Amino acid sequence: MKNGRITAIILDDEISVRNGLLRHIRWKQLGVDSVETFESAEKVVVYLENHAPDIIISDIRLPKMDGIRLVEYVREKELRCRIIFMSAYSDLEYFKEAIRLEAEAYIEKPIRPEQMEEAVRKAVGKIRRDRNQEEKAALAADILSEYTDQMGKRVFKNLVHGIWEEGLMESVGGGKRQIGRGDDFLCMIIKYKRLSGEAEKLKGLLEAYFGRTRRVYDESRAGILACLFAFSRDEYYTKAFADLERFLVDFEEGRFGPGSYFIAVSDRRSGYGEAAKLYTQAACQLQKFFFLGYGGLVRQEAEGNRVADPAKIPVKEFELALLEEEAGQALRIAEEIYLYLKEQTDSLPDQAKNIFFTLQLSLLQESGMKDELLGGETGTDYLWTRFGDFETIEECYGYLQENIRSYFQNKESFLSGNLKIDRIVRYVRSGFGNVNLSVRDIAEDVGLTPQYMTAVFKEKTGITLGQFIRSTRLEHSRRLLMASESPLGAIAQASGYGDANYWTKAFRKEYGMTPSEYRKRGRK
């Protein structure tokens, strides 16, 4: 999955075209992380032995192996690349070939950047949708593996794997629940709060609502209850549909504790072979619990497109608010991000968690990784584990919101009284004569990171730490010039300047005259 990265290659035998596309297309803004260029299809073939680019932008007419033959090779190798063709020729046959090879676009030269960007934008959008669906399928497979093995009932396991055993399927539950090959099936997965007696309560509810409906199997474990229903066409319209709708309507209207459950419901399909697909549907819908929380109800619907777009997450604005110490602005941006992500229910939970984690890292960097400003553990491993444990987006947002408030409140308290500033000043005034005095030395003494310490010093004093060290050294050398007969080189050394010439230049810049001129004028 390339860790979410999207890569592209450009193939054209003209260097001006390759360089022009590299320079004039806004790749990063379009979501493309890296772009490689090639002047021949033969070199691309070699490259494809070890790489799988997401997008191939290729000229059609090339020496030896042309773009059409290259893409045919790509299709034969079953590489999942999005193709954009370029050509200086308005040839109908080329256009037909592009359609046959399922190219995203056919762009005629000379190429207009906006036209190419639109083609790349569409390709990136399709790549992201494909990856999202693949991750959903993997998630469903994980859930299926995790729960079906534990559910333990052979009937259910067979059905969700599309297996029919005649002898076993003749009767279920002591002959009370017959299952036919052509029955319709529907799957419902319920997530419930793991409170004492909750599993038994939920099973009682299901019995009350679906007592006359054939429930092939249900079992709860680790806060999840999966139900597979079977019914004939007649049963569905006379009993099952009414039971299901009554159950879901009562749930939505809060008649049996909606704050304790989340429900995911699949389609209804005919034939035992469809049971596995229905279970996968419900398992995929279960991930929406992260966005909707308890009280949520989702049914299988047309393929959604409510997937978070990283370009719409104002991370830079959030970082700027921290830098400018705008607490209200930082909280407002965090809320804006939360409200946007909460609506993107087709996203994977880890995608949203990663965004909140990124914002939290911004807080860490701005605070200099200090517990004083965040009021707790600040290691990135600890934080990622913390976000990984959150079940809902509200928990992620609440944690970030709490840390933003803690950061600004503690920073204000931390800076009040100038205790750290006084300590910095004392350190500089006692150690300025050390030629090797460094910001890192001072930071270690006062217990801050160099970056944070210099920012705090500038904020509280109005000058940089470097300016303060320089002015302290120059002031000391000025006094020595007036009060001693020491040679100029010795005064420079005593003031923390290893190079007398550098000291002379700094002195002249500060006082408008050289040290020797200053000494002479002071003695007149």
pLDDT in tens, the chain (524 residues): 455 789 999 999 999 999 999 999 999 989 999 999 999 999 999 999 989 999 999 998 888 898 899 999 998 888 889 999 998 776 667 777 777 888 888 888 888 899 999 999 999 998 988 888 777 766 665 655 554 444 335 556 666 666 665 555 554 433 344 567 778 888 899 998 878 778 888 888 888 888 777 766 656 667 888 888 888 878 887 788 888 888 988 898 888 776 789 999 998 888 877 877 888 888 888 889 999 999 889 987 755 678 888 889 998 899 888 877 788 899 999 999 999 999 998 888 888 988 998 888 888 777 654 444 444 554 555 677 788 788 899 999 999 998 888 887 766 555 444 567 778 888 898 898 998 888 888 888 887 788 888 888 887 778 899 998 999 999 889 888 888 888 999 999 999 998 899 999 999 988 889 999 888 876 65
**Is 273 part of any domain?**
yes
Whether 385 and 454 share a structural domain: no
291 lies in the same domain as 318: no
Range of the domain at 492: 418-522
Q: What is the pLDDT of residue 375?
A: 46
- Neighbour tally for 270: CB within 10 Å: 14
**What span, in angstroms and rounded, lies between the C-alpha atoms of 358 and 231?**
48
Would residue 137 count as lying in a domain? no
Q: Is 37 part of any domain?
A: yes
Give the N- to C-terminal CA distance of the chain in Å, as an integer.
80
| Boundary of a domain, candidates 396, 416, 436 | 416
Return the structure tokens found at 246. 């009554």
Within this chain, do residues 162 and 285 fall inside the same structural domain, yes or no? yes
Q: Is residue 40 part of a domain?
A: yes
User: Which distant-in-sequence residues (6+ apart) come within 8 Å of 125 by Cβ?
Assistant: none
pLDDT of residue 176: 40
Residue 140 to residues 148, 181, 242, 287, Cα–Cα distance (Å)? 12, 24, 28, 9
Look at residue 3 in the predicted model and tell me its pLDDT.
Answer: 59
- Judge whether 296 and 263 are in contact, CB under 8 Å: yes
Residue 142 lies in a domain: no
- CATH code of the domain in which 115 resides: 3.40.50.2300
The answer to whether the pTM exceeds 0.75 is no
H-run or E-run covering 221: strand 214-221
Q: For position 503, what pLDDT does the model report?
A: 93
pLDDT the model gives residue 40: 93
What pLDDT shows up at residue 143?
Answer: 58
80 & 160 share domain? no
**How many other β-carbons are positioned within 10 Å of the β-carbon of residue 71?**
24
Query: What domain count does the chain have?
Result: 4
121 and 32 co-located in one domain:
yes
Whether 193 and 230 map to the same domain: the answer is yes
